Amino acid sequence: MWQQLARWSDPLVAVAVSSPKADDERRWSLAESSNPNVHLTSLYRDDGQTLLRLFNASRGAGATRLRLAPLIEGAELVELDGRVTEAVPMMSGGGGLNEISVSLPRFGVRTIRLRHA
């Protein structure tokens, strides 16, 4: 149990990479929120998929569009116990990026499972 808690509680660690060869550096970002009140709080790899946790720091309900790297081919909202609640439709965001829309209640948390290509 404590190992699972440690995986979610440890802060994200930035790692330096060599200069991207693509002109558009946004293609190197895994996820970016369009709403400044919605924060990416944790990222965890599990069986070749990525679990992404979002937090709405706003006093009101909020929505965000997440711009996702081209290597992401699907997304699902999941509960804390891993149950899938719904598939999130993927839209083309231009520039090779994908986008999904997610709504969050005030001070709410959402977990999204990302499937890689």
CATH classification of the domain holding 110:
2.60.40
pLDDT at 33: 85
* Residue-number span of the structural domain to which 115 is assigned: 43-117
**Cα dihedral 16, 75, 111, 46 sign:** negative
Q: E strand or H helix at 5, and its extent?
A: helix 2-9
| 87 in a structural domain | yes
φ, ψ at 26 (rounded to 5°): -60, -25
Give the tokens for residue 43. Answer: 């990222």
| 15 in a structural domain | no
| 20 in a structural domain | no
pLDDT at 4: 63
pLDDT at 6: 65
pLDDT at 105: 93
What is the block-wise mean pLDDT of the chain (117 residues), using blocks of 10 residues? 62 52 56 87 83 91 87 89 91 82 93 88
| 19 in a structural domain | no
pLDDT at 72: 84
| 36 in a structural domain | no
Domain total of the chain: 1
pLDDT at 14: 52
| 113 in a structural domain | yes
Q: Which of 69, 78, 75, 82 is nearest to 22 (CA)?
A: 69
- DSSP readout, 53-112? EEEE-SSS-EEEEEEE-TTEEEEEEE-TTS-EEEEEPPEEEETTEEEEEEEE-TT-EEEE
| 103 in a structural domain | yes
